[in-house]
Amino acid sequence: MTRKEILVKLRHVMKQASQEHIDWNTVIEDATIESLGFDSLSMLDLIYDIQQEFDIEFEAEELVSINRVSEMVTFLEKNTSP
Amino acid sequence: MSKSINRKRVVVTGMGSVNPLGMNVDALWQNMLAGKCGIVPLTSIDLTDYKVKIGAQVNRTELAAALEGIKVRPSDRAVDMALLASSQALADACIMTDEPSDIGTLFGTGVGCSESLYNANTRFAERGVRGLRPTSVPRCMANAISSQISMKFKLTGPNYVLVSACSSATSAIGTAFRMIQDGHASTILCGGSDSPFDPLVFGAWDSLGVMSKNADPTTACRPFDANRDGCILGEGAGALLMESLEHASERNAHIHAELCGYGESSDAGHMTRPSQDGQVRAIRGAVASAGIELGEIGFINAHGTATRTNDECESGSIRAAMAEHADRILIASNKSFFGHMLGASGVAESIVVIEGLKAGIVPQNLNLDDPDPACRINLVADSAEKIDAPVALKNSFGFGGGNAVLVWRRWES
């Protein structure tokens, strides 16, 4: 997947997990995870949803301290590449 | 234990309630004065194979709207209701929560986050271990209730949950009382929360056989009545902001009532059958810790579950502990109004006691049409009674033999 494709898919997963009333199509890579409505608990749920949607396995701790969408995209880019 | 002159006095300066009778303290109290019963046919789960199909359920639509008002995303009903009650209590006490404060958080629960546990079990049954979310642990642990409150309102003091079945909230309030009394904390948010209305927990209670088989919601729960045949479960939460009198005075807080005594004991006998000996020790311990005379007590808010065993045993305990005052002191149970809220019952009923002390009113025993001769106590009949005495007791007795009793005093400003 390209970085852009990952971001589009990630926005969709985040929208399902967050339930925040924001325009997810406008979320940029520089956005912080906290600004998108995720706290320590819902962040864990998001990680699970990412594992399911991207069909990858990793330990929750690998993503739990990430601060920005860009870091998440980079992580997924690295872990979904063939 | 005698009351030490070095101990601090403890007062309530904030109250919050999420109850089948309404979404705040005033709604609860006004509906009780109106004689309204909050027990209804249960709609939240499929009860096709269940013997009991009624309960005291919090209005789901109103709860969802209220949670949105405090920016809480629904997660688990016990947590959600505790957060809402806490928000109300903190606001009532004029405690700002935009900055961290050293307030403690002590809550009681009987079944804990059972909705989350049921959801995790369901996913495990459907999809195996890969179906389990990483949030299963932090969502299912019983102390998610106090943890979520602590995080939401930035309360940095001690934070934990007490579990002692139906006496849980009373134990939490009593423990908070002692911590403030002895100077370990100046302010604690305490209370309880429980929701037994998931298919598994309610099914377990259905199987236990202690719930009434009467299908009529408004007459099924009949504490101390000769024709009672069991309890009716309820759900809800309550929160009390308690602080030392000196701390409340320093910040000119409005005081609702004083908590002046707490007693507890264990039956150390049977898992589900209560013991008069254990209950009497808890009542006497509470009275002794308050340093009051029995003549000051105007009424007792009974545990009063409406099971055959509890009400007869509790009546005997009250008579033994109150001695010659037993014929004078008014006794009422609130469970015919809003069911047995398990680990939250002690705080919901304490709120009723506090409102009663303020108004000089003891609400009636709904459905007490034919008082059981085996319950030889001075029961409030079919209408509320006026009282003038300044002190009231709140009894809570749990499965497992835990007994907890609070002594409340009207606040004279």
The domain spanning residue B22 has which CATH number? 3.40.47.10
* Same domain (yes/no): B207, B94: yes
* Same domain (yes/no): B152, B268: no
Region A55-63 average pLDDT: 84
Residues of B near A (Cβ–Cβ under 8 Å) read: 73, 75, 133-135, 138-139, 151
Residue B3 has pLDDT above 80, yes or no: no
**pLDDT tier at B4, thresholds 50, 70, 90:** low
Task: Identify which of B73, B135, B151 has the shortest CB distance to residue A44.
Answer: B135
pLDDT at position B1 is: 47
Does residue B242 lie in a domain region?
yes
Residue A64 has pLDDT above 70, yes or no: yes
* Same domain (yes/no): B282, B335: yes
Task: Identify which of B73, B75, B133 has the shortest CB distance to residue A48.
Answer: B133
Whether B325 sits among the annotated catalytic residues: the reply is no
Does residue B1 lie in a domain region?
no
* Same domain (yes/no): B340, B270: yes
Judge whether B194 and B342 are in contact, CB under 8 Å: yes
Judge whether B297 and B334 are in contact, CB under 8 Å: no
Q: Which CATH superfamily groups domain A3-80?
A: ACP-like (1.10.1200.10)
Does residue B69 lie in a domain region?
yes
Residue B73 has pLDDT above 90, yes or no: no
A28 touches chain B (CB under 8 A): no
* Same domain (yes/no): B96, B180: yes
Count: domains in chain B: 2
Of B250, B279, B314, which residue constitutes the final position of a domain? B250
Does residue B160 lie in a domain region?
yes
Full residue range of the structural domain in which residue B153 is found: 10-250
Of B215, B250, B285, which residue constitutes the final position of a domain? B250
**pLDDT tier at A82, thresholds 50, 70, 90:** low
> Looking at the predicted complex, does its ipTM rise above 0.90?
no
Whether B254 sits among the annotated catalytic residues: the reply is no
Q: Which residue of B has its CA nearest to A60?
A: B134
* Same domain (yes/no): B239, B160: yes
* Same domain (yes/no): B214, B185: yes
Q: Which of B231, B313, B340, B375 is catalytic?
A: B340
Whether B303 sits among the annotated catalytic residues: the reply is yes
Which residues in B57-89 are b (16+ Cβ under 10 Å) and which e?
bbbeeebeebbeeeebeebbbbbbbbbbbbbbb
Most B CBs within 10 A among A48, A49, A58, hence the mutation to make, goes to: A48
Average pLDDT, chain B: 96
* Same domain (yes/no): B342, B297: yes
A28-48 tens-digit pLDDT: 999 999 899 888 888 888 988
| Residue B393 to residues B89, B203, B305, B336, Cα–Cα distance (Å) | 22, 33, 16, 19
**pLDDT tier at B155, thresholds 50, 70, 90:** very high
Does residue B32 lie in a domain region?
yes
Q: How crowded is residue B380: how many other Cβ atoms within 10 Å of its Cβ?
A: 20
B73 interaction partners in chain A (CB closer than 8 Å) = 19, 42
Judge whether A54 and A80 are in contact, CB under 8 Å: yes
pLDDT at position B67 is: 96
* Same domain (yes/no): B115, B238: yes
Percentage of chain A beyond pLDDT 90 is: 49
